[in-house]
């Protein structure tokens, strides 16, 4: 009996030991190959995320299966950490005085393009895929969100290099992309309820403005408090980053725990902390932004490789031409929505075209919620997941590539940046 117990304990320790080794092996594969293929794509003048997504698809559970299950189990949390890093960096870089110049279009970009894409899906999906109008609405909300993970770093790069800065174009796109996903996820919950029960609660729609306003308010308040604390407590920037990350994690944990009771967007709060910190401690935010840039090097690889790993390539291969045509058609609806937002602005035709291109990429939201209808046993579940997977594979690389290809041709460089060069 004793020997059997000893053997079981030894076997358990053995499996834990080798399980741990495989986890570290998986992390090494993710980071090394993500870095390698990302670098190769850069050399080929393609966005690095294309290589990272490809690595995720190849080594993920639906292909070579080289990623340890313990990493896959916390994949959603790791992706959220990466989003926290990039949105915090965005908040520290976003100039509110420049954003105020664009005003109305920035607010419209938060919901108008998504609404147009959802409407396009409701009109076209029943005819092309043979699903009901309600199921098409669920699909529209899954596909309708733009990807802040793709767009935010691209726009921050434009701000740093001075492209479109005179008319606050990167700030406009950045602000819209940061709120767009909140709006779409709340709509997704509402349409999901309608698909399950046939009843849609008006409360679901009321939650949208409440979650956004509460997220902004909490973020500004926390940013002011932290700014005053940093002014009095002379601590290293590394410690400040740790404090900011911990506060961000607490806000996300609050939303995950009480989000059903109190409508609250933690990711908007994270960005607003950085914005309000600028008002209180401007000189510190510039240094903190540089620290976040270094964190993003690792976070970017983890984010896009794990997004790629969540893509079931079998669904994409079985999709057929109709699903691909549908994705491109609803993208036209989205682009028209962006064009509507740009009406009565001082942007010329080239700049408006760039805004329409910049709002194409999808990735993180689709990876996060694309499988929910299937897991809930809805009839449309497999079709929704298929279209979600295809939207990531098509729009994330295409959008990123087109942004990199066109920004120098379509946007004007800031006069001061030209002088520096």
Short-list 168, 208, 145, 95, CA closest to 359: 145
Q: Do the domain assignments include residue 212?
A: yes
Residues of the domain holding 42: 18-420
Confidence of residue 16 (pLDDT cuts 50, 70, 90): very low
Q: Enumerate residues 6+ apart whose C-beta is below 8 A from 185.
A: 141, 145, 365, 369
**Main-chain dihedrals φ then ψ at residue 364, nearest 5 degrees:** -65, -50
Q: Do the domain assignments include residue 12?
A: no
Confidence of residue 78 (pLDDT cuts 50, 70, 90): confident
The tens digit of pLDDT for each residue in 326-372 reads: 999 999 999 999 999 999 888 999 999 999 999 999 887 887 788 88
Q: Do the domain assignments include residue 206?
A: yes
Q: Do the domain assignments include residue 8?
A: no
Q: Enumerate residues 6+ apart whose C-beta is below 8 A from 307.
A: 53, 56, 79, 149, 363, 364, 367, 392, 396
The tens digit of pLDDT for each residue in 379-396 reads: 888 888 889 888 988 998
The tens digit of pLDDT for each residue in 225-243 reads: 999 999 888 889 999 999 9
Q: Do the domain assignments include residue 9?
A: no
CA distance 131 to 124: 10
Q: Assign residue 301 the CATH number of its domain.
A: 1.20.1530.20
Q: Do the domain assignments include residue 10?
A: no
Q: Do the domain assignments include residue 303?
A: yes
CA distance 12 to 16: 6
CA distance 182 to 187: 9
Q: Do the domain assignments include residue 13?
A: no
Confidence of residue 11 (pLDDT cuts 50, 70, 90): very low
Q: Enumerate residues 6+ apart whose C-beta is below 8 A from 148.
A: 83, 86, 87, 177, 178, 180, 181, 267, 364
CA distance 412 to 166: 8
Q: Enumerate residues 6+ apart whose C-beta is below 8 A from 124.
A: 136, 326, 329, 330
CA distance 23 to 69: 8
Instruction: State how many domains the chain has.
Output: 1
């Amino acid at each position: 009996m004793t020997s059997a117990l000893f053997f079981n304990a030894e076997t358990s320790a053995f499996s834990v030991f080798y399980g741990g080794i495989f986890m570290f092996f998986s992390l090494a594969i993710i980071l090394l190959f993500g870095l390698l293929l990302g670098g190769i794509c850069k050399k080929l003048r393609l966005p690095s995320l294309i290589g990272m997504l490809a690595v995720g698809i190849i080594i993920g559970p639906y292909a070579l299966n080289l990623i340890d299950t313990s990493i896959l189990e916390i994949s959603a949390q790791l992706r959220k950490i990466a989003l926290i890093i990039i949105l915090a960096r965005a908040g520290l870089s976003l100039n509110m005085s420049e954003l105020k110049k664009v005003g109305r279009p920035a607010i419209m970009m938060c919901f108008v393009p998504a609404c147009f894409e959802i409407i396009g899906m409701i009109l076209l999906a029943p005819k092309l895929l043979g699903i009901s109008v309600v199921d098409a609405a669920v699909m529209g909300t899954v596909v309708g969100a733009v990807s802040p993970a793709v767009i935010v770093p691209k726009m921050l790069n434009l701000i740093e290099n001075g492209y479109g800065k005179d008319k606050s174009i990167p700030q406009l796109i950045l602000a819209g992309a940061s709120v767009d996903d909140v709006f779409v996820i709340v709509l997704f919950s509402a349409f999901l309820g309608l698909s399950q029960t046939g009843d849609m609660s008006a409360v679901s729609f009321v939650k949208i403005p409440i979650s956004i306003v509460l997220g902004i308010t909490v973020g500004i308040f926390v940013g002011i408090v932290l700014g005053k604390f940093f002014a009095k407590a002379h601590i290293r920037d590394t410690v400040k980053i740790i404090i900011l990350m911990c506060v961000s994690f607490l806000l996300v944990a609050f939303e995950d725990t009480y989000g059903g009771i109190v409508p609250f967007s933690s990711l908007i709060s994270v960005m607003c902390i950085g914005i309000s910190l600028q008002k209180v401690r401007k000189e510190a935010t510039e240094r903190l932004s540089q620290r976040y840039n270094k964190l993003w090097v690792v976070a970017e690889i983890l984010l896009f490789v794990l997004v790629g790993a969540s893509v079931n390539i079998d669904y994409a291969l079985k999709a057929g031409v109709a699903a691909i045509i549908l994705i491109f058609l609803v993208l036209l609806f989205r682009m028209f929505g962006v064009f509507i937002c740009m009406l009565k602005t001082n942007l010329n035709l080239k700049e408006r075209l760039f805004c329409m291109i910049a709002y194409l990429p999808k990735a993180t939201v689709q990876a996060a919620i694309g499988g929910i209808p299937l897991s809930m046993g809805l009839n449309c579940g497999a079709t929704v997941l298929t279209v979600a997977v295809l939207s990531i594979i098509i729009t994330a690389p295409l959008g990123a590539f087109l942004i990199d290809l066109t920004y120098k041709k379509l946007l004007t460089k800031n006069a001061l940046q030209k002088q520096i060069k």
